[in-house]
Chains A and B, each alone.
Chain A
Amino acid sequence: MQLILILPLIVALVAFFMPNKLVKEFSLAFSGSFFLLSLYVLFKYDPLNYYNFIYYNETFLVGTGGSLHIGLDSIGVMMFALTNFVIFYVNIMAWEKTYTRSFYGCVFLMQFALIGVFASLNAILFYFFWELALLPIYYIVYKWGNGKELNKTFVRFFIYTFVGSLFILAAFILFAVETKSGSFEITEMAKNSLTGKTQILYTIFLLIGFGVKIPIFPLHSWQPSTYRKAPAEGTVLLSGIMLKMGLFGLLRWLVPFQDDALPIIQKVVIILAIIGTVYGAIIALRRNDLKLIAAFSSLSHVGLITAGIFAYKFVGFQGVAFQMLVHGINIVGILYIFDIIERSTGTRYLSDLGGISSKSPLFSALTLIIIIGTIAVTPLTNGFPGEFLLLMSVFLYNPILGILAGSTIILGAAYLLRVYQRAFMGEVSEHVSNFKAVSAFDLTALGFIALLVLVLGIYPQFILDISANGSQYLTNLLELKNN
Chain B
Amino acid sequence: MLVILILFITGLCTMFASLHPNKALPKYLGILGILIALVTLHLRLGLGLDFPAFFTMFPLTRIMTVIALFLILILFILQRKYEKDYDWSAVYSLMLFSTCGVILLLGQQNLLILFLGIEIMSIPLYVLAASKKTQAASLEAGLKYFILGAFASAFLLFGIALVYGTTGSFVMNEIIHIQNINGVQLPAYFHIGYIFIIIAILFKMAVAPFHFWSPDVYDGSPTVVTTFMTTLVKLGSSVTMYYILVGYFRHQFDNYFKFLLPIICVSFLLGAILGLAQNNVKRMLAYSSISHIGFVLTGIILGIALQDMSLFVFYLLTYTLSSLIVFSILDYIENGNAVFLDHLNGLSKHQPLLAVAFAIGILSMAGIPFTGGFIAKYRVLTGIYQINGWMFAIGLLSSAVAAGYYLKTLNRIFFYENNQENFAIKNIYLVVIMVILSIMILILGTLPELLLQGIHKYFLA
Chain A contacts to B: CB under 8 angstroms:
59-64, 124, 127-132, 135, 139, 142-143, 151, 154-155, 158-159, 162-163, 166, 169-170, 173-174, 176-177
Contacts and interface: CB of A to CB of B under 8 A. Distances in A.
B177 interface: no
B369 to A, nearest CB: 4
B370 A132 contact: yes
Contacts of B385: 173-174, 177
Interface stretch (B13-21, B101-109, B403-411): B403-411
B351 interface: no
Interface stretch (B40-48, B80-88, B445-453): B445-453
Contact of B447 (A60, A132, A166, A174): A60
Interface string B404-423: 10010001001100000000
16 contacts: A59-B449, A61-B375, A61-B448, A61-B449, A64-B378, A130-B369, A131-B369, A132-B369, A135-B368, A142-B414, A142-B415, A159-B400, A159-B404, A169-B396, A177-B382, A177-B386
Nearest to A144: B415
Interface string B6-40: 00000000000000000000000000000000000
A176 B449 CA distance: 20
A135 B360 CA distance: 11
Given A131-B369, A159-B404, A162-B403, A64 B396 contact: no
Given A62-B448, A63-B375, A139-B414, A128 B396 contact: no
Given A132-B370, A173-B381, A177-B385, A155 B407 contact: yes
Interface of B: 310, 363, 368-370, 374-375, 378-379, 381-382, 385-386, 392-393, 396, 399-400, 403-404, 407, 411, 414-415, 446-450, 452
A134 B195 CA distance: 44
B399 A142 contact: no
A174 B381 CA distance: 10
Nearest to B363: A135
Contact of B396 (A60, A130, A166): A166
Nearest to B376: A64
B12 to A, nearest CB: 42
- In the A-B complex, the 6 residue pairs with the smallest Cβ-Cβ separation, listed nearest first, are A128-B369, A62-B449, A131-B369, A163-B400, A142-B415, A166-B396
Given A59-B449, A64-B448, A173-B385, A162 B400 contact: yes
Given A64-B375, A173-B378, 12 more contacts: A59-B447, A62-B448, A63-B310, A63-B449, A132-B370, A135-B363, A143-B414, A158-B404, A169-B396, A170-B393, A174-B385, A177-B385
A129 B447 CA distance: 15
A383 to B, nearest CB: 35
Nearest to A139: B414
Contacts of A162: 400, 403, 407
Contacts of B399: 166
Given A154-B411, A173-B381, A61 B446 contact: yes
B404 to A, nearest CB: 7
A155 B404 contact: yes
B382 A173 contact: yes
A131 B368 contact: yes
Contacts of B446: 60-61
A322 B78 CA distance: 56
Contacts of B449: 59, 61-63
Contacts of A61: 375, 446-449
B329 to A, nearest CB: 19
Contacts of B411: 142, 151, 154
* Residue from B310, B378, B381, B411 with most neighbouring chain A CB atoms (10 Å): B378
B414 A170 contact: no
Nearest to B403: A162
B418 to A, nearest CB: 15
